[in-house]
Chain A
Amino acid sequence: MPQLALTEAVFYILLSLQKPLHGYGIIQNVGELSNGRVKLAAGTLYGALNSLVDKGWIDALPENPESRKKEYVITNSGLIVLKEELARLSELVDNGKRLLGGN
């Protein structure tokens, strides 16, 4: 069965977690990657992070006792999902450009 499309938030969270980041770091990184267009809200991020951990697409790293901030990082299965989504998005972009005559 083909994988269902990821939400924009999940795509950017997975993309951000190629290096370990805590929640606030993810929000900042997603903002930078999208030139400020995507602003993740705290509640949405919290729900997404829990779902991604449950699916095994990201791991919660052991807590740093100094910062008390939980960090997350993408897993191998998360990386596979991310690459599949990138291929799906590329197909959309290629077809759009071909039929609309863009470059």
Chain B
Amino acid sequence: MRRVVHKLFWIWQLEKEQAWVNEMASHGYALEHAGRLRFEFDETEPDKYIYKEIFLKGWGESAENIKYFRFLEEMGIKVVCYINYPGTCWVYTRALKKDYPDGIELYSDIDSKITYQKVMAAYMILVIALTLGAGILNLWMALFNSYRILPLNLVCAILVFALCIAAVIAEINFLANLRRLKKERKLHE
């Protein structure tokens, strides 16, 4: 039986969302489709699947990503669905838990972990730039519009600035991870 859950996760809350999806799987609800706010689960046996969410460059339909998805399937990792964002896609993958008892790990060396953190950090800069631009525009319209005061713009500016601050926090985390990995690479592979 299909169960639909509406839940909001921001783009930088990948790990939190993944933990929730895996918790659902541990209770016997396997994710079959995800939208930006909507998650669809099918009832299955508890702990049958383990999920991993990843960011990839380009849209899910791109030739390069389709090639990668096929390769993952050869490894027993199925792409359940993906959500496209500008220049990137958020991919939901799963495997049988008996095949991946310790979880799905897609990167086992420092270089590929560094590449992944770089993609995340670059995307977050885009989010920061967009939210900052939208926030400034709304604030300007609210404060300097000579015809009338626009409280809606002020509310929008506050909300968008809040998003921008959250994205900055996420960016700091990605950069800290990147720095730690680069430091580690000086000594180890």
Indicate, yes or no, whether A interacts with B.
Answer: yes
In chain A, residues 9-31, which have Cβ atoms closer than 8 Å to a Cβ of chain B?
A: 9, 22-24, 27
B: interface residue count bin: 20 to 34
| Total A-B residue contacts, Cβ distance less than 8 Å | 49
Interface string of B24-41 (1 = CB under 8 A from A): 000000000000000000
Query: Are A7 and B106 CB-contacts (below 8 A) given A23-B74, A42-B75, A44-B112?
Result: no
CA distance A7 to B111 in the complex (A): 10
Residues of the B chain whose Cβ atoms lie less than 8 Å from the Cβ of A9: 108-109, 189
CA distance A46 to B148 in the complex (A): 58
CA distance A23 to B68 in the complex (A): 12
Min distance, Cβ A52 to any Cβ of chain B, angstroms: 14
Min distance, Cβ B95 to any Cβ of chain A, angstroms: 9
CA distance A8 to B108 in the complex (A): 11
Min distance, Cβ B172 to any Cβ of chain A, angstroms: 25
Q: Are B74 and A43 in contact (CB under 8 A)?
A: no
Q: Are B111 and A43 in contact (CB under 8 A)?
A: no
CA distance A91 to B72 in the complex (A): 37
Query: Are A42 and B71 CB-contacts (below 8 A) given A8-B189, A24-B76?
Result: yes
In chain B, residues 98-118, which have Cβ atoms closer than 8 Å to a Cβ of chain A?
A: 104-109, 111-112, 115-116
Q: Are A44 and B107 in contact (CB under 8 A)?
A: yes
A97 within 8 A of B: no
Residues of the A chain whose Cβ atoms lie less than 8 Å from the Cβ of B76: 24
B77 within 8 A of A: yes
Residues of the A chain whose Cβ atoms lie less than 8 Å from the Cβ of B106: 41-44
Q: Which residues of B approach A to under 8 Å, CB–CB?
A: 54, 68, 70-72, 74-77, 104-109, 111-112, 115-116, 189
| 6 residue pairs, one from A and one from B, having the closest CB atoms | A43-B106, A41-B108, A42-B75, A44-B112, A41-B105, A44-B108
